[in-house]
């Protein structure tokens, strides 16, 4: 059996194990171990099994993962989500569809400290959906705008998905954060414009012609002060990274420490810290299991030289780069409907990233495009995680209504992907 055939065999084994229901981390690890055994023999297999798991994750760069997760949990404990919605509502009050617009802005604000779509959707859903229902909004629009607004958590820095992509591909996290800032803002604005259009086409979906409260400039300024914790954390973390004052690891450590102080000062209970440590540790363990499994699979696949052969073959095709990017992203759209973003990136990067390098696509551009596709997966049936998170936060919602409410925003996401592929400078302009 040639090495190329072994490469095809372990990919087939991987997807077979996934279909049979084995957890993704263990499917990757098992497939990688089989590939290593077939290409390197028993001696190489025994050596790698005994040394690889530790050596692969002992990289200091991985410290950023648990630190950002801890910061996210502590920020949630301070109640930033509720105050972000209140502040945004004071600025958008008086607009038709103002509560839905406020929801998008609140998601954007909370995303700057959470780095997680699930945390963002769960936090905002409990606050925003009851308010929109009371104002007469349809369940479709109310739930849909929260589910899609939550996806901003995977794009707006500090994004956990961008961090995982950067570590998996060796791409600068600082450049990824810089490149994602404008697309994140564009996505939020596009959602808002979509809500305005939906409100004009169907006024009943945003409460009809009911009188909306208005706030003066003083009230709005006071509302803005409610978000001071998010602003402080964003400046400390993302601002220090952009300005070159701190590395991502250092910024994450400072952000986590300040978030702990904020949470404990506001709540005054040490169990807040214990809960945050427990939750972030559990998620960190899951992520590191995926990293080890993906690393073993990537090593085995690299040994077979299959990714290199595929990359050479793809680069020889007479296909424009935009078309090639769309073809590469299509499998992500399919996978995104079934698995979470971190798993999808760690699963696919060993296969597709050599192609991206071979054809000369900037890794930062590709990273942002992958995150956009992850956003779509979060609101796409049958396993749109954000949809189920919103349903879990507001239990009397009809799941069908949440999915239907996401459909208009799905079209917006696809248009944004086409825009970023057509105008890559929207991502790459800060990089020179």
Tens-place pLDDT, residues 16-67:
998 898 888 898 899 999 999 998 888 888 888 888 888 888 877 788 888 8
C-alpha triplet 82, 177, 368: angle, nearest 5°: 100
Residue 226 confidence (pLDDT) above 90: no
Mean pLDDT of the chain: 84
Q: What is the pLDDT of residue 44?
A: 80
Q: What is the pLDDT of residue 207?
A: 65
Q: What is the pLDDT of residue 268?
A: 60
> Could you give the CA distance from residue 219 to residue 391 in angstroms, rounded to a whole number?
32
Please report, rounded to a whole number, the percentage of residues in the chain having pLDDT higher than 90: 16
Position with higher pLDDT, 103 vs 88 = 103
- pLDDT per residue as tens digits for the range 273-312: 787 788 788 888 888 888 888 888 888 887 887 777 777 7
- pLDDT per residue as tens digits for the range 327-352: 888 888 877 766 777 778 888 888 88
- pLDDT per residue as tens digits for the range 149-169: 988 888 888 888 898 899 889
Q: What is the pLDDT of residue 230?
A: 81
Contact 234, 258 (CB under 8 A): no
- pLDDT per residue as tens digits for the range 407-418: 999 999 999 999
């Amino acid at each position: 059996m040639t090495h190329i055939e072994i490469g095809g065999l372990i990919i087939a084994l991987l997807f077979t194990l996934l279909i049979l229901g084995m957890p993704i981390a263990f499917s990757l690890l098992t497939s990688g171990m089989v590939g290593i055994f077939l290409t390197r023999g028993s001696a190489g297999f025994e050596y790698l099994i005994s040394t690889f798991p530790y050596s692969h994750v002992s990289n200091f760069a991985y410290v950023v993962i648990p630190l950002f997760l801890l910061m996210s949990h502590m920020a949630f404990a301070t109640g930033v989500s509720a105050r972000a919605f209140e502040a945004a509502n004071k600025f958008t009050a008086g607009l038709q569809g103002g509560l839905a617009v406020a929801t998008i802005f609140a998601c954007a604000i909370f995303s700057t400290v959470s780095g997680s779509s699930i945390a963002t959707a769960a936090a905002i859903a409990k606050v925003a959906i009851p308010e929109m229902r009371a104002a007469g909004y349809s369940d479709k629009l109310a739930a849909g705008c929260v589910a899609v607004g939550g996806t901003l958590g995977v794009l707006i820095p500090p994004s956990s998905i961008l961090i995982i992509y950067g570590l998996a591909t060796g791409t600068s996290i600082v450049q990824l954060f810089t490149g994602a800032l404008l697309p994140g803002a564009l996505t939020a604005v596009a959602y808002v414009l979509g809500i305005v259009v939906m409100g004009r086409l169907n006024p009943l979906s945003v409460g009809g012609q009911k009188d909306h409260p208005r706030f003066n400039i003083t009230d709005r300024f006071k509302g803005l002060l409610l978000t001071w914790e998010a602003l402080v954390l964003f400046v400390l973390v993302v601002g220090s990274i952009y300005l070159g004052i701190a590395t991502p690891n250092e910024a994450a450590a400072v952000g986590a420490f300040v978030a702990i102080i904020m949470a404990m000062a506001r709540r005054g209970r040490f169990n807040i810290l214990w809960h945050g440590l427990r939750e972030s540790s559990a998620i960190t363990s899951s992520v590191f299991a995926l990293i080890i499994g993906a690393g073993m699979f990537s090593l085995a696949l690299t040994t077979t030289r299959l990714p290199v052969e595929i990359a050479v073959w793809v680069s020889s095709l007479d296909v424009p780069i935009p078309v090639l990017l769309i073809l590469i992203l299509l499998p992500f759209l399919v996978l995104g409907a079934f698995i979470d973003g971190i798993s999808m990136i760690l699963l696919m990067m060993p296969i597709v990233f050599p192609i991206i390098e071979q054809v000369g696509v900037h890794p930062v551009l590709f990273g942002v495009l992958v995150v956009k596709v992850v956003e779509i997966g979060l609101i796409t049936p049958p396993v749109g995680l954000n949809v189920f998170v919103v349903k879990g936060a507001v239990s009397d919602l009809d799941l069908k209504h949440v999915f239907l409410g996401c459909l208009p925003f799905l079209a917006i996401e696809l248009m944004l992907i086409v825009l970023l592929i057509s105008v890559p400078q929207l991502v790459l302009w800060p990089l020179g």
